[in-house]
Amino acid sequence: NHPLGTNLTYLEIGTSSNQNFNSIPIINKTGVDPEMGGNVRSTSDDFFKSQNKKFDLIFIDGLHTYEQVKKDFINSLAVIKDGGVIVLDDMIPRNWKEQQTPRVQSKWTGDVWKLLFDLNKLDGINYKIILIDNGQCVIFPKGIKLTDQFLLNETKMKTFDYFYNNLKELPTIELKEGLMWIKDSLNSQ
C-alpha cells in the first residue's frame, strides 16, 4: 500500500523531451509545456488559472527563473492533495554560469535557487534538498501557510555569491538519507 493511495495523480510543469514524464509509472498524469512534451500545451500560468483537479505529486521543472518557479510553487499549493508532495527541480547550481539569468550556456538551472531561501519564511514547511541531479527539493506542503515575509520576494536581487556563502544554511541531504526521510515523512502524514 502506497501512503498516498492507489489511484495516484501526477502533474509535471515543464515536460520538454518527456524524459521524466514518460518514466513516471502513474497512469493518471498531466504534463504541461507551452512547446513540447506532456499532454497539455499551455503555459503553467494559464494551466493553473483553469485547474480544479487535485494532484498527489507535482514536479516543477518549467521556466527556470525565480519569479516563475515561485508562481508555480504557490499555484501548486492550491492543487496539491492533502498528504501530497511537491518536487522542485535544479535547485543547486554548481557554478555561476549554470544559474545566470538570462541563460549564458546550455546547462542551465536558472536562479530558482533563490526560492530555497524563501521557503524558510513559510509557516509549517517540511522540506529537504536531495543532492542529486542539481538538487531536488522535496516538499511536504501539508499545513504550509503563506506568510507576508515569503511573499516579499526579498531574495530576487541576491547574487550567486549569496547562494554560495549561505548554502550550508539549507537543509541538504544525500540520496540514501533523503529516501529514508521521504519514506518516514510519507508514513507520518
Comparing CA positions, the residue from 9, 15, 110, 16 lying closest to residue 66 is 110
Cα separation, 154 vs 118, in Å, equals 8
pLDDT tens digit sequence for 43-75 = 999 999 999 899 999 999 999 999 999 999 999
How far is CA 125 from its chain centroid?
13
The answer to whether residue 142 scores a pLDDT higher than 90 is no
The two beta strands, 136-140 and 80-88, are: antiparallel
Q: Report yes or no: 56 and 8 within 8 Å, Cβ to Cβ.
A: yes
pTM assigned to the model: 0.94
| Helix ranges (DSSP H) in 15-145 | 19-23, 44-49, 66-79, 96-99, 114-119
pLDDT tier, 102 (very low <50, low <70, confident <90, very high otherwise): confident
Helix (H) or strand (E) holding 182: helix 175-187
